[in-house]
Amino acid sequence: MNGSPAGTRGWPEALRLGLLLFAAELLLTRLSSGERVAPAATAASALGWALLPTLPAALLDLLPLPTRWRARGHALVAWGAMGLLGLGLVGPALHERGGTALALGGAVAAVALSGLSARFRPSPSPYPRPEVVVLGLTLSVAMAWAVGPGEPPPLATAAALALAGVALVPLGVTPGRSLLAASLAAAVAAAPGRVAGVRWVDRPPADGPDLVLLTVDTLRADAAGSMVAARRLADGGTRFTQAQAPAPWTLPSVATLLTGRPPSDHGAVAREGGRYSELDPAVPTVAEALAAAGWDTVAVAAPNPFVGPSFGLDRGFDHFHQPGWSRHALPRGLQNLAACPVLARATEKLARVVVCHPVDGAGLTAHALEVLAQRRERPLFLWVHYLDTHLPYAHVSNPAVSPELRRVLAGDFHRGVAARRGQPGLVEELAAAYADEVAFVDGELVRLLDALGPAPARGRVVVLTSDHGEERFEHGGFEHGHTLYQELLHVPLVVAGLGTPPTVDTPVGLADVAATLLARAGLPADPTGAADLAAPPPPERHLPAGNLLRLPPDELRGVRQGSWKLIEGRAGRVELYDLGADAAEARDLAAVEPGRVAELRAQLESGASGAGPAVGVDVGLRAQLEELGYTEGEAPRSP
């Protein structure tokens, strides 16, 4: 970027600067997320950085301006492009600290400091030298780490970037070198990740079966019947037709699945004011119990923060892998679920062109297979949690889904679906799109089951289930987390390796899965009422449900006993349904069954209520939750 007089053409140097910025943001993103950058995101980033500085620079070259003003215009283009990337790096953390003004000020400060360095090595061109560009990015990254909530400054990262800048000093940046740097960055960003070796924990020998827990986020019970994986497990296994989740969203349900405790006991719930609680440290997990008994424990979880370390759900696992949670070049607040560069993310937000997608199940399966290839000859507890059936959708191909709705479901689905509410055919299109996601994750489950192969001599138990379902306006709402109807609480549950009848119609809960896994290992279940599914519990047992994702003033609670189900609001509103005769919950029987209402309300009142330690929603956690649609006030609600 050195050598062109201020009065000559500036657009070639603007293009070189854009290529350098493209390479820098692509590498920073890949090093931070650990995942390959999506091709569409790479293309959006490349096109953006090729045009953003180049077009205004070319316009300046065409205008009949005095040399002095043209040089100033080119300088504004150059430092504006650098400032945009600086804002993308520093902005989220500073915005969380003090609002947009502080974020803008931080980006300007980072660029200004790098601009001062240019005075020590002046250039005849208004475009900064490459080492100055790298220095500006180094300052921006260091500032992002310094102000990011709870994040330490990355001295190693800053030092590496600074050394890169020093290395560029004698080289200059020719057009060929610029293109080479951009091509290498794109190759690195697109390269598949490498699974690090698993470090197994030394522990005494154990005797017992392998235990495999497969969970699919947001999988409706009525969708699992078409899955090849579910049918394979049911052949010789058991399908529990009346499995019930304890909550209509991920955190409390998965915490119950991993502890055998109801949400009122384990404490991982939603709290007032948009806050959440982590798993109570005093509550033991299945993984902790199995590890203590000698099992190797592994979890491969999709990048939903509600199943991650932030809420304590990694406890007890020797190896816990969750894409998007590594911390390398950028603080967690600047990572995203799709390994999406800054400019590509801005393009998606502003132009509503979908270029970024969450990490899909193919990567999770690949990591699980790598782990299985490294396993030892001892009992293994493997948990794999897929996310593909949770919005946004990335694998919709059904021609029955309009291209416009397909874009909506892959991007801003809350607002997009809300705007189409009541539109003829919308529910059918949503179901078709969802079916494509179910088919995709089914293929990954089959791939994993194939890799597991025949059960070893010590035996194997495989569980397939979900944390909750998905609502498609059955009771006026869309998505999940805000009602206690069966489209959200009824989940699939298939267990292979128990030796139980092919079908069990007795109502069971996700807490029973934890008790069953512990029983297969010869360990006692936690004394909270969870039952070993090898001996199904009596049908009249009470199964509580509650804790909405966003607590309304009239918080809902529910309880099921056999086919009867009660939903109560704290303001006194009560609904009663007989699921055996009315699976769609269309006929409220509360007025004609006062005795049943009183009995079930007494069960609700006897349940304890509690929450674990509050989790602060920092900028990183907020960004990941928003990626999955967990933002206040956007989801259509039930009346």
Answer yes or no: do 447 and 318 share one domain. yes
- The answer as to whether 252 is a domain residue is yes
User: Which residue did the predictor score with more confidence, 15 or 271?
Assistant: 15
Residue 479 — φ and ψ, nearest 5°? 80, -125
426-469 residue pLDDT tens: 999 999 999 999 999 999 999 999 999 999 999 999 999 999 99
Task: Using a pLDDT cut of 90, give the percent of the chain over it.
Answer: 41
**531-578, pLDDT tens digit by residue?**
999 987 787 888 988 888 766 656 788 999 999 999 998 677 899 999
* Model confidence band, residue 477 (pLDDT cutoffs 50, 70, 90): confident
| 312 lies in the same domain as 184 | no
Take residue 556 and report the two structure tokens written for it: 């809902």
In a domain, 196, yes or no: no
> Residue 211 carries which DSSP code?
E
Domain boundary among 190, 218, 247: 190
pLDDT of residue 345: 80
Mind listing the pLDDT tens digit for each residue in 243-284? 999 999 999 999 999 999 999 889 888 877 667 889 999 999
> Looking at the structure, do residues 174 and 256 belong to the same domain, yes or no?
no
398 and 440 share a domain?
Answer: yes
For residue range 397-430, list pLDDT tens digits in order: 999 999 888 888 877 777 778 778 888 999 999 9
Of 209 and 105, the structure prediction assigns the larger pLDDT to 209
Q: With cut-offs at 50, 70 and 90, classify the pLDDT of residue 1.
A: very low
DSSP state of 1: -
In a domain, 571, yes or no: no
* Residue after which a domain boundary falls, among 158, 190, 222: 190
For residue 236, what are the contacts with CB-CB under 8 A and spacing of at least 6?
A: 496
Residue 456 amino acid letter: P
Domain boundary among 160, 190, 220: 190
- Give CA–CA dist 134/55, Å, rounded: 23
In single-letter form, the type of residue at position 628 comes to L
Distance between start and end Cα atoms, the chain: 61
Where residue 634 falls among pLDDT bands split at 50, 70, 90?
very low
What is the reported pLDDT for 406?
A: 87
pLDDT in tens, 277-315: 899 999 999 999 999 999 999 999 998 889 988 899 999
Residue 178 lies in a domain: yes
Plot region of 161 (φ>0 → left; ψ -120 to 50 → alpha; else → beta): alpha
CATH code (residue 449): 3.40.720.10
Q: What is the mean pLDDT of the chain?
A: 82
37 shares a domain with 161: yes
What is the DSSP track for 263-322?
Answer: HHHH---EETTTEEEPPPTTS--HHHHHHHTT-EEEEEE-S-GGGSGGGTTTTT-SEEE-
CA atoms of 107 and 90, how far apart (whole Å): 6
Residues 147 and 229 occupy one common structural domain: no
Range with lowest mean pLDDT among 214-218, 387-391, 493-497: 387-391
Kindly state whether residue 600 falls inside one of the protein's structural domains: no
- What are the beta bridge partners of residue 558? 545, 567
Q: How would you list the strands of the sheet with 270-271, edge to edge?
A: 270-271, 275-277, 614-615
Answer yes or no: is 127 within a domain: yes
Q: Kindly report which listed range (348-357, 373-382, 594-603) carries the lowest average pLDDT score.
A: 348-357
- Residue 72 inside a domain? The answer is yes
| In a shared domain, residues 395 and 517 | yes
User: With bands split at pLDDT 50, 70 and 90, how would you rate the model's confidence at 602?
Assistant: confident
Reported as a single tens digit per residue, the pLDDT across 482-506 is 899 999 999 999 999 998 899 999 9
More reliable by pLDDT, 450 or 39: 450
Show the tokens assigned to 397. Answer: 């191909």
Q: How many domains does the chain have?
A: 2
The residue segments making up the domain with residue 115 are 11-190
